Chain A
């Protein structure tokens, strides 16, 4: 028990590591605030492209989505962070993470928005157009708001996954929460910083998990 406390919940170590963890935590928040809006915007764009009449566009979008859904995000990130600099494209750690996340998450968000848009009945388009709205206005004011509302649980679920995924940025040495914790661990030779990082993730994300499990039960119960 003492060993457990001194290795996992060591307050002296925690005090030393705290400034690092806090800096890492802010970086994780900053990263989230960049990658989530980028992913949502990218996903919406992907979904809107699938509503186009052109077959070629549709095919290209399907290939894009399947390609990036098949690619583990960490592989994509490493490719961008370590491979592209050989072509003199050096985005830096933050830039590489942002681009990798945009490519990966936009395909997931895209699939979700597509399902949402497909759930809107044809009549809604016809009614909107017949009141004199243009096609773009119909999408923006009638279809997308309803589509989004229909897929809110999936959007939250995916966003939770994206926030958790930001931890892979530690692999390309972006000083976010996990990276800070591992650094603190290697300096102090004690696992407390890693446990602390885990607790920080847990405290921040647990409310989302609770909310989601409510949604999920309701969704399947309606089935």
Chain B
């Protein structure tokens, strides 16, 4: 009985918990609510994943209005995978959050942070669970609006301008997306993704549908921060509270990527159907991101900013996987989507520990930190190695599949570029490691202690996951392969 209601509960639990948090101005209580709601969402998504892997996709008619007239929630292998990823990272970050937030946000605002976090979680989970293109827009805006607020909570006043810049660009992106949806509706008269998938091929050659695809790809590209559309991201990640950077880096861009995959493959049936060279455009942009953003990352003095630029480069790898237009390429994209969330989650949370003790994440101030905070820096190194793609970490699995997909297409040059751009990651990770391990600590760092266990443990859970899923990649690969098959089976 309850099983059949899981898709809606996935969204409703965090949504209701968010409104509860908004009216209860107590820091501890709202934290408990947020943690409980995140764990409940995690339990629901794990249940859904098991159900989907055993019995195939689940369809849920909202208010019992049958699709395509009513809104359909549809959970297949890919959406269940994203749901688990988002709710798992949300839960881990919530365990970490209170100590870190106490340092980075005014105490009387913490309960509002919890409300915003839950709204964001509900929006992201909703985007992954919905089977309706307009419903996706609504959830996109729920998650976006709450993330603007969370970024603006940072103590640095530059957080405000970063949030405003993100608000402008995010809203333009979301509006582009709705314009595209409108054009599709004009041609087909439906908003249901599966229904659109069957009706669009008949009208695929019209200019309206081509324009629709262009609008949607650009709109979601803004949320995803594909390279020429990325200007909001570095400032937003650099000045937001670290918990927020960690959560957004690990989940928000991933869900935007999910939405892009969903629309391009399930709805449009792959770029080739429409006759717009989306794949070639993405290929060029991805390579520019891999090199350009990594090169910029090398010159950053602020570790959070460095990670933000590195995120842009990693988004490049995910987009690169899409541009191969093959099952292996999509598998690589989905594996990296999962793996990058683990890496950036671990790295940003490690920075949260450093900020707690040091009050700064400037790289030059981290001299000798490897000896003062061995656990935190150890996790940072594991995350960094994973970012580079060293064997036995998840990063290696991602790169392995990407290169395999490139060779499958016979694109030797692209495969070489993937390896070359990894070397840039070596440089920027090394910059932090060198300062932390090979420079003598300054005198005022002598009293510096390791971060409390309640923070170090979540960091190591994520760092450990980097190694665990790097040594035992079978589950990820299997889930990613069936997710890729679900995408390609939809119409390509």
Q: Do A and B bind?
A: no
Interface residues of A (CB under 8 A from B): none
Residues of B within 8 A of A (CB): none
